[in-house]
Structure 1
């Protein structure tokens, strides 16, 4: 007879939750670390600058690299919400936040390690004169940025789960796209503005209101466009999960998640 732990892992729903939670946490943590890079959309696409004008701010469209991954986090959030409900989303949200903090603690610890003298200049041929300084700048994000990201992430996730289930109660099993997109629209409106406000307005950079509103609005618009574009992926995920679990088991999970 198989031990209890082995029988538990034989449950496809358990294995599915572990896989979704792992993918969610990896994407959320990675988004925090690569978010330090700001990229120009037009230059990336090989286009001339759009010269947009928003709240008095003009120039090219600039985003954090983390915005590339957040749409996938939204898909994972909505999928877990669909099949594992509030408890599932809250569990993975707190788990991801803990892993992000854990990652930054060890990043700061690595920065404090005395670099080998030869390593400092190991990347000079690639245009990096001081590898230690580059490492510290990339991985040693300011505490205001980290705090803003974590607060915005957790607040956004908690709002997402509430809005998702309110729409679900109103529509039943219909209109999956509406509860997914609607919850993302509300949660990311808060997330996009809170993170910039804490990191760059309250923080040492003291951004002016016009820059804060412009950058926050652009990031929110990008996230929403990506969320809408990924609606077909949400339906594909739902279909694949139903096929993996079986129609009866998938229906049981959705019914329990809706309670």
Structure 2
């Protein structure tokens, strides 16, 4: 079992905060993935810039609290994220607000996006947790675990999401271009993760550990 660096009394609050954070990022990504952009002549979406936040939070969860607790977060997020993603995606389909009346009719295209997000999240996050936890127990440098988990976890996440959401989709543009968009999306997410989020993981981890040590020292001095 992975030892927790967070005091047991604070674990429930940390897990609740992480669940809320994951759901918020999934909702935002489901909205942003409907907004296409072109980078250096390649098609992608704005969702490529938001989703790596989840992998950062997951890796910190495994490191500070443990693999089992990280899986608890994933289990608690799945259903709320699926429901919230569908509602938000219907209300803001193609990036514009469609009014509350849009919820009155079931939208198959939007549900595919929400379900694809659900499946991709579960598969990608479980792989990320397993890879990160396995590598971080070795004697490799600290950055190897978050880098490897990002490479593999986001690859599975991207393939699952775009394949489920847009293969033979009713959206002609996405049906014709989803492979290209998925590859560019993965390249962007990986670049953002390796150049920004892996260093940020190291900074955040050190800051959290220092803060916890100061808190522990203060409690001992008052005892």
TM class by shorter-chain length? 0.7 to 0.9
Taking only aligned residues, the RMSD between alpha carbons, in angstroms, comes to 3.3
Instruction: Indicate how the Cα distance of structure 1 residues 161 and 40 shifts in structure 2: closer, same or farther if over 3 A, else same.
Output: same
Distance 1:202 1:151 in 2: 18
TM-score for both structures, normalised by structure 2: 0.75
> 1:134 Cα deviation (Å)?
11
Residue of structure 2 in register with 1:237 after alignment: 204
Change (3 A) 1:203 1:78: same
Corresponding residue of 1:146: 114
2:55 pairs with 1:74: yes
SS at match of 1:170: coil
Preserved contact between residue 13 and residue 245 of structure 1 (Cα < 8 Å): no
Q: TM-score, normalised by structure 1?
A: 0.66
| Deviation for aligned residue 1:10 | 9.8
Note the alpha carbon deviations across 1:42-86, whole angstroms, 9 max, x for none. Answer: xxxxxxxx3xxxxxxxxx233222222112111111101111222
What is the correspondence of 1:10-49 to structure 2 with a 5 Å cutoff? 11-41=9-39
Check the 8 A contact 1:12/1:245 in 2, yes or no. Answer: no
Change (3 A) 1:10 1:93: closer
* CA shift in 2, pair 1:85/1:147, >3 Å: same
Q: Give distance in 1, aligned partners of 2:74 and 2:18.
A: 12
1:63 aligns with 2:44: yes
| Matches of 2:114 and 2:86, distance apart in 1 | 11
What is the aligned partner in structure 1 of residue 4 from structure 2? none
Offset at 1:24?
A: 2.9
Deviation at 1:214, TM superposition (A): 2.0
Say whether the 8 Å CA contact 1:34–1:66 is kept in structure 2. yes
Give the match for residue 254 of structure 1.
none
Task: Give the number of the structure whose alpha-carbon radius of gyration is greater.
Answer: 1
**What SS does the corresponding residue of 2:115 show, helix, strand or coil?**
helix
Please list, as runs of the form range in 1=range in 2, the aligned pairs for 1:53-132 lying within 5 A after superposition. Answer: 60-104=41-85, 106-107=87-88, 132=98
CA 1:162–1:243: 2 relative to 1, 3 Å = same
Shift of 1:103: 1.4
2:158 aligned with 1:160: no
Seen in structure 2, the aligned counterparts of structure 1 residues 24 and 107 have a Cα distance that, compared at 3 Å, is closer
Pick from 203, 208, 213 the counterpart of residue 246 of structure 1: 213
Structure 2: which 5+ runs fail to align?
1-6, 217-223
